[in-house]
Chains A and B, each alone.
Chain A
Amino acid sequence: MSEPLHFVEIRHAQKSFGAVEVLKDISLNVERGQIVGIIGSSGSGKSTLLRAINDLDPLTGGEIWLDGVQVNKALPHRQYEKHINAMRQQVGMVFQHFNLFPHMTARENVTMAPKLLKGLSQSDADKLAEEQLDKVGMLERIDYYPSQLSGGQKQRVAIARALAMKPKMMLFDEATSALDPELVEEVNLVMKKLAEEHMTMIIVTHEMDFAASVCDRVLFMDKGIVVEEGPPEILFKNPSKERTREFLRKHIEGAK
């Protein structure tokens, strides 16, 4: 295979769960600093594609390249584990259900991995936690446990936790879908801030307005394929495919 030309390259991604094919030959390139949104109904494969990028859901076919290195390369088990752990340190991920560690404070959630994997001293780790939690507006809750935080606050801490590893890119898997409507905005603001700093991001979302406002490019997925992709002003206002139009009609009307 040829050397990658793009920051992220997904080449002919294919994924089956048993007999069900959830990703059908998807290819996608993302440039450094780009923000790509993925929309589509549930079951379209958008989360699976996102989770394939850091190998949470390993592909059954195809290749994923990040910054010149193949993520899912064939290696013996032990070597692969080492390789994938190193790759994952470069890719931050934010989940729908936050997945904060409930037995750790916000500070500990943020510092655990940098201390363990990068050998940060406690004082450096504390500085890092303050810096990252400040960035997401959670500094004053630094010693709170997740159970003492609202959903939006939890998600902001989860973003800080991912950023603390200084990732090259961030993956957002429906980061605001589990939040009460009034808490969505505070998380969106943090993501917008990252966008302004030119963090490379791939965002799976149900929020069309948000996708339209931050993404450079939006993909519409359906039944395991990318039906249509383009800049948001074209994809949302003037989609060329009937399936896209139908989805947007349902979704935007449904939201009103």
Chain B
Amino acid sequence: MDFDLMLKVYPFFLEAALTTIVLSVLTAILGLFCGALGAAARLSRFALLRFAGAAYVSLFRGTPALLQLFILYFGGPQIGIQLDAFEAGVIGLGINAGAYMTETIRGSIISIDKGQREAARTLGLSRWQATYKVILPQAARLMVRPLGVNLNMLVKATALVAAISVVELTYTAQRYIGSTYKPFEMFLLAGVLYMIIIYAVGRGVAWLDRKVQIT
């Protein structure tokens, strides 16, 4: 193992890790947004919206994320969507993560006992009032952990955007392998940094989960 080389290149990897983090954060925000919309559609009173939500989930969970990125980045210009690699990465991964988050959010909402909604409605609350006063506060507490799992997957999925040449951790490792011919060291370095990010995410989720629990 060439530790000297690793010490020499690691500042560049840190910079790449920062890109991975920014990519993850933006993807998570877009994913949560899509997931919330998707869950609302899946649980809608209107059959058309329910269908749209279900179609979104099965389309994006039913095809490889890598393929979705390729379609967006390489195929996009053909239908008038011009995005740089980073934008395509965030949008592609965000929409993909949103499909998984849709199911997480929906699952948390439907696991709330139906007596909760009934009690709220018998007091005179409207459907929406019952949802935001009674159902969502309880569901939000339930979804912290499973959304944490989604977030974990999402951070690792950012490695896929190396394939459309976004200069993040995995792409950086590949690039340094090209000049150093030391794939073991370079991938190991990237792996350690991924682990640190994932560990921090895990701790953050556990902290949030504890914080929102009811006494």
Q: Which residues of A contact B (CB under 8 A)?
A: 54, 56, 81, 85-86, 88-89, 91-93, 95, 97, 99-103, 112-113, 116-117, 145, 147-148, 158, 161-162, 165
Shortest CB-to-CB span from A20 to chain B, Å, is 20
| Complex: A222 Cα to B113 Cα, angstroms | 28
Q: Are B125 and A117 in contact (CB under 8 A)?
A: yes
Shortest CB-to-CB span from B169 to chain A, Å, is 39
* Residue-wise interface mask of B (6-49) relative to A, using a CB-CB cutoff of 8 A (1 in contact, 0 not): 00000000000000000000000000000000000000000000
- List which B42-59 residues lie within 8 A (CB) of chain A: none
Shortest CB-to-CB span from B125 to chain A, Å, is 6
Q: A-B contact count, CB below 8 Å?
A: 66
- How many chain B residues have a CB neighbour from A under 8 Å? 21
Q: Which residues of B contact A (CB under 8 A)?
A: 113, 115-116, 118-127, 129, 133-134, 137-138, 141, 214-215
Q: Are B121 and A116 in contact (CB under 8 A)?
A: no
> What are some 10 contacts across the A-B interface (CB < 8 A)?
A54-B122, A85-B121, A88-B123, A88-B124, A93-B119, A101-B120, A103-B138, A113-B123, A148-B215, A165-B124
Q: Are B123 and A117 in contact (CB under 8 A)?
A: yes
Give the interface centre of A89, A102, A162 by most chain B CB atoms within 10 Å. A102
Q: Are B133 and A116 in contact (CB under 8 A)?
A: yes
Q: Are A88 and B121 in contact (CB under 8 A)?
A: yes
Contacts of B115 in A (CB 8 A): 95, 97, 99
If A145-B214, A147-B214 touch, whether A103 touches B137 (CB-CB below 8 Å) is yes
Kindly list 19 other residue pairs between chains A and B, CB separation below 8 angstroms, not including A85-B125, A92-B122.
A56-B122, A85-B121, A86-B124, A88-B121, A89-B124, A93-B122, A95-B118, A95-B119, A97-B115, A99-B116, A101-B120, A102-B214, A103-B138, A103-B214, A116-B133, A117-B123, A147-B215, A165-B123, A165-B124
| Complex: A100 Cα to B143 Cα, angstroms | 21
Q: Are B124 and A56 in contact (CB under 8 A)?
A: no
Shortest CB-to-CB span from A83 to chain B, Å, is 11
| Complex: A67 Cα to B95 Cα, angstroms | 53
Contact of B123 among A81, A145, A148, A161 (CB under 8 A): A161
